[in-house]
Chains A and B, each alone.
Chain A
Amino acid sequence: MSDAITAEGLVKRYGEVTALDGLSFSVPQGTVLALLGPNGAGKTTTVRVLTTLLRPDGGRATVAGCDVVGDARRLRSRIGLSGQYAAVDEHLTGAENLEMVGRLYHLGARRSKARARELLERFDLADAADRPVKGYSGGMRRRIDLAGALVADPPVLFLDEPTTGLDPRARAALWDTISELVAAGSTLLLTTQYMEEADRLADQIMVVDHGRAIARGTVDELKDQIGGNRIELTVTDAAELETARQALTRFAVGAMRTVPESLQITVPVADGPEALRQTLGRLADAGVRVRDAGLRRPTLDDVYLTLTGRQASGTDPQSREATR
């Protein structure tokens, strides 16, 4: 299987700020890569470079076999982009917006019209097709924007934070739509701040921070990298939190996390059920009354915090976490 996207040592600077610091990766055809990271990590800059909106200061990249600098025009006919801010014209209706995009992909008037109707139907916007986008809800705007990226049925898709700012229901609906696209064989590069989103949609995840990749792998590989399970405990009384923390220190294989507001402690442990049994016994001995206890696999949140917590600031993660 060949790569639909390749990036080698991409560099992009804005004055003093280095947005991309030698980023390299590839996305095999027909797979989904999620770029995961906080605001300012370089996710959007990566998408802008790969979609020819931004010229890289260093490195090279190809998308669908076309160089992002040397072969930009041909590249653009093979990609679809849906941005962080819905890039549609508010005064135009949904149908007019999609038809315009079709014409600009040079599909011709008739095909553009037909394709617009087809996509509106598919994205559940047929009823709103002839209303100006101005009156659309946030979820509808994202759907029309996503539809815009699909007008020419491009082999490679870029979705930049497709669900940021959406309510949970609209988000879940958009996830279903994206999953269907992916199942149909498109190559997708997705950026997100949501671990759940990457978990749900991506084959591979690349965690980016300060314009560099700090981890890459499948969801399971990343979880393995962080090791073990998590025990999540809720105590009954705030006064018992500190006692519980001290009692649990010897079971923890990494940074413990305490959330005083919800009386919760999260402890990374080496093994599963046995560790849970032992910790509960230990807490009973210490006189801590436990209201709730559970064992879970590490989430991408945990992965991310462990990876960037250390990298982003020089402080000891343990003390940083404890203050949360």
Chain B
Amino acid sequence: MNALTMPIADGWTIARRNTLKIRRSPDLLGSVITLPIVLVLLFAYVFGSVIDVPGMSYREFLLPGIFVQAVIIGAQITGYTLTLDLQKGIFDRFRSLPMAPSAVLIGQTVSDLLMNLASLVVMAVMGLIVGWRVHTSPHEAVLGFGLLLLFAYAFSWVTATVALALRTPESFNNIATMVSFPLMFVSNAFLDSSALPTPLRVVAEWNPVSTFTQAARDLFGNTSTAMKTSDAWPIQHAIPASLLWITAMLIVFVPLATRIYKQAVSS
């Protein structure tokens, strides 16, 4: 096995291990299956009963935002699982084996991607039940889900980096909640952000959550000409902007997470 195939083969072995783990952990499974259902119902019926968006039903407007929210929460599983593993001896075992060191993080992020895929499927079905529809061609819809999954994968590396730097599940959860909630809510995911006061509106327009939500809306056709969309570049060019974000996250956080992993496990 050479330097190129080994990380892939070993990463796959680790991903299999994580998938087995997820299947046997009711709490993780619960967050994959039930959380999306709860989110869709909660936002569709609670927010949906008081919020109007021009030119379309709120639920159609909402679902892409909920997809992005689920991805952000789902990708945090990566960080959380790593902090749990750090508390145990399993990384010592891995490091004493002749495997590719990078395989641990590759395996972790790949299995979490599979979990995010499952979660998105559940959400899409829930969305269809409550009235969400795709108005574009099938291949655009596939691209929409593909983009969400790419975002999920890249964001997994971000949460991995944070988790490996913080090391304990408690501190990771605190920081993750504190950062992800403002990110999700100061955006266009649940509301028409053009109605926000100027400083918040600017933040919302440049918030990557808005970019991904807008890209998903564009690809699923959940947009309306009656709605005033922002002139900000990342909203006007949501799909290339999303790809830029994904590329930037991978370029920065894959090497960073790998480096911090080495430090975290070798003390």
Contact = CB atoms under 8 A, between A and B. Distances in A.
B24 A132 contact: yes
Contacts of B6: 106
Contact of A106 (B1, B93, B95): B1
Given A104-B97, A106-B1, A92 B21 contact: yes
A91 B93 contact: no
B197 interface: no
Given A55-B266, A85-B89, A92-B17, A105 B96 contact: no
Given A55-B266, A104-B13, 13 more contacts: A53-B96, A76-B96, A77-B98, A83-B92, A84-B89, A87-B88, A92-B17, A96-B20, A100-B13, A101-B93, A103-B9, A103-B13, A104-B94
Contacts, number: 74
B112 interface: no
Contacts of B265: 53
Nearest to B1: A106
Contacts of B218: none
A54 B266 contact: yes
Interface of B: 1, 6, 9-10, 13, 16-17, 20-21, 24-25, 88-90, 92-99, 103, 265-266
B21 A104 contact: no
Given A85-B89, A86-B89, A88-B90, A51 B96 contact: yes
Contacts of A79: 96
B98 A83 contact: no
B266 A53 contact: yes
Interface of A: 51-55, 73-74, 76-77, 79-81, 83-92, 96, 100-101, 103-106, 132, 148
A76, A90, A91 interface centre (most CB from chain B within 10 Å): A91
16 contacts: A53-B265, A76-B97, A79-B96, A81-B96, A83-B89, A88-B93, A91-B25, A92-B20, A96-B17, A100-B13, A100-B17, A101-B93, A104-B98, A106-B1, A106-B6, A132-B24
User: Which 5 A/B pairs are nearest by Cβ-Cβ distance?
Assistant: A87-B89, A87-B93, A77-B98, A76-B98, A81-B96
A100 B14 CA distance: 8
A237 B73 CA distance: 71
A104 B99 contact: yes
Nearest to A53: B95
Given A92-B21, A104-B13, A87 B92 contact: yes
Contacts of A100: 13, 16-17
B90 A87 contact: yes
A183 B30 CA distance: 49
Contacts of A132: 24
A103 B11 CA distance: 11
Contacts of A83: 89, 92-93
A322 to B, nearest CB: 41
A307 B158 CA distance: 52
Nearest to A93: B20
Contacts of A51: 96
Contacts of B17: 89, 92, 96, 100
Contacts of A104: 10, 13, 94, 97-99, 103
Contact of A91 (B21, B92, B96): B21
Contacts of B1: 106
Contacts of B96: 51-53, 76, 79-81
Nearest to B94: A104
B93 A148 contact: yes
A93 B16 CA distance: 13
B88 to A, nearest CB: 7
Given A54-B266, A104-B13, A81 B21 contact: no
Contacts of B98: 73-74, 76-77, 104-106
